A and B are shown apart, each in its own frame.
Chain A
Amino acid sequence: MDMLKRVPISEQDPKERAKNFEEVCLGYTEDEAVAEASRCLNCKNPRCVSGCPVSINIPAFIQEVKNRDFEKAYEIISLSSALPAVCGRVCPQETQCEGVCVRGVKGEPVAIGKLERFVADFAMKNGIEPKVSAEKKGHKVAVIGAGPAGLTCAGDLARNGYDVTIFEALHKAGGVLVYGIPEFRLPKERVVAVEVENVKKLGVKIETDVVVGRSVTIDDLMEKKGFEAVFIGSGAGLPRFMGIPGEQANGVFSANEYLTRSNLMKAYADKDTPIKPGKKVVVVGGGNVAMDSARTALRLGADVTVVYRRSMKELPARVEEVHHAKEEGVKFDLLTNPVEILTGEDGSVCGIRVIRMELGEPDASGRRSPVEIKGSEFEMECDTVIMALGTSPNPLISRTTNGLETNKRGCIVAEEEFGKTSKDGVFAGGDAVTGAATVILAMGAGKAAAKGIMDYFEK
């Protein structure tokens, strides 16, 4: 075995998977996982741990994998993460734990994410559950939003004996994990639902169909319903549009709408909710959301082009996702920006007018911002345009809560260390505070706030 190289992992063939919604990556077998684990040097000062937003004891769990004690490995991960099967699949490990792994200096870093996934899947398959503990503390805490931030915060509090209720606006718990990230990257029943169940097994109650700010307000929760502290993990769900002509035409969708129809409402499996998959689809944007939209449209039978205003190097999506998208046949038109959406007589999209861009001088942040090349406009034919331009927090909660400060981007202002907001007893974290970010950062914030809430009660 070449210790500089990773144990390869099997994936569904690109041609095959471009037509189905089954998971792309098939995961390690036991022997493969053990072999990969043996590459870990069990460093004294493990850099990987400092690269992990929730500080999983990575070398410790990897040693247990090497010893084939997978249950023990799961226990170690569970101490720090409530959603390992999710994180193992969607975290940007290449810029976190794996990005700093010592093995990566000369060769390929240890496949920490894939090992985490293996351990979590093993636990699921064998019915191993996280341990419930602790005497009851008798304090009631409300958590708003059942995304990664809310689930993590609730799980940590429940593990420590607090009485926690999550209020979720949608009919299903999971946040972006159920409505945004597609099945082929993150199986909903087999993975997300099981991890949500595990959080419930810690004693957390989840009330779906409750829109905080409409069904009930935070002030009511605290003044009338006996909740002594509140954690806001309501995410960043408000989609952005470009503000160009033609954007209201039929056939222009926000990525959130397209993905929600396909994922949460299971339109891909031809359930009750309709979807217009499109024959020729243009996806605007370059993040994970754009890749997910493009690969979903592809699987629904469309010919798909991603249009992004910067170059390949600046593409913010995870490397693995871009690589997968290309393999599957998604086309990329880079350094290109839409200026108008063209519509036919019936008001439906029939094309998109775009302009070529070039990268200018680096700005204050060091990023080279794209500038239009005069006279380079051209038209592309399409019947569907998906806007994946990012999202910002929904103003509903901040508008209906007295004394809750937000910044000019609409994000809730919260201290990074423990998630404390401007309102006494109210904490916040995840995308609602940072704007659209990542699953693991949201989980890290949920964890920090759980600690903040426990400290709050101790005082």
Chain B
Amino acid sequence: MFEIVKKKVLADRIVLMDVKAKNVTERCLPGQFIIARTGEDGERIPLTICDYDREKEEITIVIQTIGASTEKMALLNEGDCFTDIVGPLGNPSEICLLENLEETKKKNIVFVAGGLGIAPVYCQVKWLHEHGVDCSVIMGSRTKDLLFFIEEMESVSGHVYVTTDDGTYGFHGMGTDQLKALYDEGIRFDHCVAIGPTIMMKFVCKLTKELSIHTVVSMNMIMVDGTGMCGACRLLVGDEVKFACVDGPEFDGHLVDFDLAMKRVALYKTEEGRKKLEFEEGETHKGGCKNC
């Protein structure tokens, strides 16, 4: 049912897939996510929707292999099927809602995308482009080999700034450095959307607070059900407890407690590491490394 119709390797450990998911495409919008599973007892993995085609009933997802479950998914090929895909989950991005379009058009919007965050940002920029809103995009990664979607992004935005931390491509520096540089050139934004690693979003928010730019971030918390049932995805936003899956995933970045979020995301690191090793090396990896 959830057949993979296209698979493409975007960069080291990052693959893109177009998947049939008619339960998702009827109502999905940019900013929402899905949960996917492979195998009878597969883990439920949240993945942002990076594009969708309502007519073909397909969604595009981008997977970075960080644990055993994502590794399993990345090994699937065209013609294979996911066991489950459920969605769309979470709230659509506010600037990509038709009812807000007039408001959105008045804004000077900048996106800051880091690493895997480039894919969901593309989805939003594309929607805005299709609805007559042009915005600026700063997209970056650690190094050139990890960059993807440059052409795609340029086809939907007239102002794309590419950065790499090591200077192997584009602007030498981080997204925050590029944003600061644009500010120094006199460009004024009044709405920022930052999507990427939590640490990156934290620093973008620190800067945009100084520059007084309202900033929205998309939080990648640990999730189980994605429907508000378990509370695994909770985080503090302005001292209030929020569930990322139902209240988010997008929040006011100036209110998010990033340090707490980073600790929570690290919770299963050792378990995941162990499962990944087990998956790669087989049953031989049990005990001995002190994590097992």
Contact = CB atoms under 8 A, between A and B. Distances in A.
Interface of A: 169-171, 179, 207-211, 214-217, 237-239, 241, 243, 247-248, 250, 253-254, 256-257, 260-261, 265-266, 269, 271-276, 346-347, 394, 396
Contacts of A171: 37, 44, 83-84, 86
B277 interface: no
A250 B229 CA distance: 18
A267 to B, nearest CB: 9
Contacts of A274: 43, 268, 271-272, 275
Contacts of A169: 86, 225, 227
Given A254-B231, A347-B263, A266 B88 contact: no
A214 B41 contact: no
A396 B235 CA distance: 19
Nearest to A240: B231
Given A170-B86, A237-B227, A272-B72, 5 more contacts: A169-B227, A214-B88, A243-B241, A272-B69, A276-B268
A256 B230 contact: yes
A245 to B, nearest CB: 11
B84 A272 contact: no
Given A241-B241, A250-B263, A272 B68 contact: yes
B146 interface: no
A248 B236 contact: yes
A162 B28 CA distance: 31
B85 interface: yes
A209 B84 contact: yes
A383 to B, nearest CB: 12
Interface centre among B24, B231, B235 (most CB of A within 10 A): B231
B260 interface: yes
Contacts of A256: 229-231
Nearest to A347: B263
Contacts of B39: 272
B264 interface: yes
Interface residues on B, range: 35 or more
Interface string B12-56: 000000000001101100001000010101111000000000000
Given A239-B229, A272-B275, A214 B89 contact: yes
Contacts of B264: 248, 250
A274 B268 CA distance: 7
B140 interface: no
A228 B262 CA distance: 47
Contact of A211 (B83, B87, B230, B260): B87
Contacts of B23: 207, 209-210, 215-216
B42 A394 contact: no
A238 B86 contact: no
Contacts of B68: 272
A273 B224 CA distance: 9
Interface in B235-292: 235-236, 241, 246, 260, 263-264, 266-268, 271-272, 275
A310 B275 CA distance: 41
A210 B24 CA distance: 8
Nearest to A257: B230
Contact of A215 (B24, B84, B241, B272): B24
Contact of A208 (B84, B87, B228, B241): B84
B212 to A, nearest CB: 29
Contacts of B266: 250
Contacts of B275: 272, 274
Interface in B174-195: none
Nearest to A250: B267
A211 B271 contact: no
Contacts of A265: 41, 43-44, 224
B224 A260 contact: yes
Contacts of B126: none
Nearest to B89: A214
11 contacts: A169-B227, A207-B23, A215-B27, A216-B23, A216-B26, A253-B231, A256-B229, A266-B41, A272-B275, A273-B224, A274-B275
A328 B219 CA distance: 41
A215 B271 contact: no
Q: Which 8 A-B pairs have the closest CB atoms?
A: A274-B271, A257-B230, A271-B41, A209-B86, A237-B229, A347-B263, A272-B43, A254-B231
A215 B34 CA distance: 10
A227 to B, nearest CB: 15
Interface in B71-130: 72, 83-89
Contacts of B229: 179, 237-239, 256, 260, 394
A210 B87 CA distance: 7
A257 B24 CA distance: 24
Nearest to A214: B88
Contacts of A275: 271
Contact of B89 (A211, A241, A273): A211
Contacts of B89: 211, 214
A257 B232 contact: yes
